[in-house]
Structure 1
Amino acid sequence: MKNKNFIWKKFFQQEKKKNYFIKLINKINTDINNNKIIYPQKKYIFNIFKKINFNNLKVVIIGQDPYYGLNQANGFAFSVMPDIIIPPTLKNIYKAIKFDIPSFKIPNHGYLINWVNEGVMLLNSILTVEKGKPQSHYNIGWEIFTNNVIKIINSYYKNIVFLLWGSYAKKKIYFITSKNLVLTTSHPSPLSCYKGFYFCKHFSKTNKYLILKKKKPVNWSID
């Protein structure tokens, strides 16, 4: 089964009909209509699904919810718009890559489109957030949607690397079987990066696994 696009087309068709998803989208639209500021912008909420090549999917990195500051979130977990200051969490990710792969050049921006083009799915568990209110959209339905995304990947793919950073992301391990690889460590935020994230070497470990499975390794460079 080489072309995976029809799987995702069918997946979205099915999810859109489900009560949880209808309620979820209605809540987002109601909030926007009531002048609440929601991030990312509506056109970017499903950005990762629009930009990733599902036939080249290699890695899934699970985030929590989007950045809640002005113009930061762009629909890719951990990523920000090109002209936005790099958040501390992403700076820590860059530091961890540099420790793991010394040739890595730390960029001056945080736009991770290159990773997406390499087949890295940057998936937040929660796809929206209210401005200035982290975790404000927990338990409104996004978890159901993204858990179903992970289940679809686990069902129709093999030899995918799942990077689960932090206790919240680690809960997703229950949806992933042994035909795929799971790597876990602490979250890259300043509050927990010192608990293992800096020295996890997930980036080189990912590539060693991909090479072992006869796949092209990920080029982790940003520029």
Structure 2
Amino acid sequence: MAKKKPPAAASLFDEPPADTPAVPPPADFPASWGPALGGEFGQPYFAKLQEFVAAERTEHEVFPAADDVYNAFKYTPFDGVKVVLLGQDPYPTPGHAHGLCFSVRPGVALPASLRNIYKELESDLGIPPAKHGYLAAWAKQGVLMLNAVLTVRSGTPNSHANRGWEKFTDAALKAVNAKTEPVVFVLWGGYAGKKKVLIDANRHEIIQSAHPSPLSAHNGFFGSKPFSKINAALTDFGHAPIDWKLPEKVS
């Protein structure tokens, strides 16, 4: 794998954000991401999005909890992003979603997609499946575990799609794409694959396969060896590889 180097001049992917009013980010939004996404908070779509989510919380149960919505950004500071793992929207099952794609809180039964992720991890690197599904240890090593949509109504998948979250998370992907250091983007499934147009493949590594869902895992996810490929790319870039073995005890 040839090491990729950033171009001397900014590429067409590195367009600066449009001028917008200086609006402070939400109170619980991490400061490290403020400069990268500051242009989004003053845009009309973001205000409408926040109004929509607030209204949903008054009428329905919404996941994750308000304090957990931005956990992907909190657990992985902008300067520390080495890998982007993209999901679609949070688990709509009570007690599952906590702001990191594919991850569930300690004590929650493993969702089917996560069980398949663990199967592939064992096949790829020989790491036995963890007894829990709490993936924060990956996020803290530089894996941005980002859903394209950050909230969902209980029991109703994709209920908060097309309300503005996609525009916000696309801006996050563009910001990571514009980083000087190369990053590994992991796109599982057709939905994530559509985000490929936001990534400069000449500067970054893209690892793409079928989704780990039981509906598609046997059609290209199993046997794709994403974890060893990620670490090979990181090593090639001069970064430390990810330790994919999760701690046995979490709190």
TM range (shorter): over 0.9
Asked if structure 1 preserves the Cα contact closer than 8 Å seen for 2:106 and 2:133, the reply is: yes
1:32 is aligned, of 30, 49, 57, to 57
Indicate how the Cα distance of structure 1 residues 129 and 118 shifts in structure 2: closer, same or farther if over 3 A, else same.
same
Distance in 2 between residues matched to 1:155 and 1:168, nearest whole Å: 22
Counterpart in the other structure of 1:13: 38
The CA deviation at 1:209 is 1.1
Can you give the 5+ residue segments of structure 1 that lack an aligned partner in the other structure? Answer: none
Is 1:63 aligned with 2:63? no
Determine the C-alpha separation between the residues in 2 that align with 1:157 and 1:188: 30
Structure 2 match to 1:100? 124
* Structure of larger gyration radius: 2
1:211 corresponds to which letter in structure 2?
Answer: T
Describe the superposition over 1:74-95 as per-residue Cα deviations: whole angstroms up to 9, x where unpaired. 0000000111111010000000
Residue 103 of structure 2 is matched in structure 1 by 79
Per-residue CA deviations over 1:27-57 (Å, capped at 9, x if unaligned) read 00011122x1100011101111111133321
Structure 2 residue 183 is the aligned partner of structure 1 residue 180: no
Contact 2:37–2:171, Cα closer than 8 Å, also in 1:
no
Residue 217 in structure 1 maps to residue 235 in structure 2:
no
Secondary structure, aligned partner of 1:198: coil
Correspondent of 1:155 among 172, 175, 178 = 178
The 1:157/1:94 distance shift into structure 2, 3 A limit, reads: farther
SS at match of 2:79: helix
User: Percent of aligned pairs with the same residue?
Assistant: 38
Mark the CA change 1:90 to 1:157 in structure 2 (over 3 Å): closer, same or farther.
Answer: farther
Q: Does 1:121 align with 2:138?
A: no
1:118 is displaced (CA, Å) by 1.1
1:6–1:66 Cα change, 3 Å = closer
Return 156-165 or 91-100, whichever deviates more.
Answer: 156-165
Higher helix share: 1
- Per-residue deviation, 1:210: 1.0
Aligned alpha-carbon RMSD (Å): 1.3
Which deviates further from its counterpart, 47-56 or 71-80? Answer: 47-56
Q: How far is 1:105 from its partner? A: 2.3
* Gaps in structure 2 of 5+ consecutive residues: 1-29
Alignment of 1:132 onto 2:155:
yes
* Aligned partner of residue 234 in structure 2, secondary structure: helix
- Secondary structure class of the residue paired with 1:123: strand
The equivalent residue for 2:22 is none
Q: Distance in 2 between matches of 1:135 and 1:185?
A: 22
Q: TM-score, normalised by structure 1?
A: 0.94
Letter in 2 for 1:219: D
Q: What is aligned with 1:91?
A: 115
Offset at 1:7? 6.6
Task: Give, in whole Å, the separation in 1 of the partners of 2:65 and 2:33.
Answer: 22
Q: Which residue of the partner structure matches residue 165 of structure 2?
A: 142
CA deviation digits over 1:170-213, x for unaligned, max 9? Answer: 01100100201001000001100001101101110111111111
Q: In 1, are the aligned partners of 2:72 and 2:146 still within 8 Å (CA)?
A: yes
User: How far has the Cα of 1:127 moved from its partner?
Assistant: 0.5
Three-state SS of the structure 1 residue aligned to 2:222 is helix
| Worse-matched range after superposition: 78-87 or 49-58 | 49-58
> Could you state the TM-score of these two structures normalised by the residue count of structure 2?
0.84
SS in 2 for 1:79: coil
Is contact 2:32-2:78 (8 Å) kept?
no
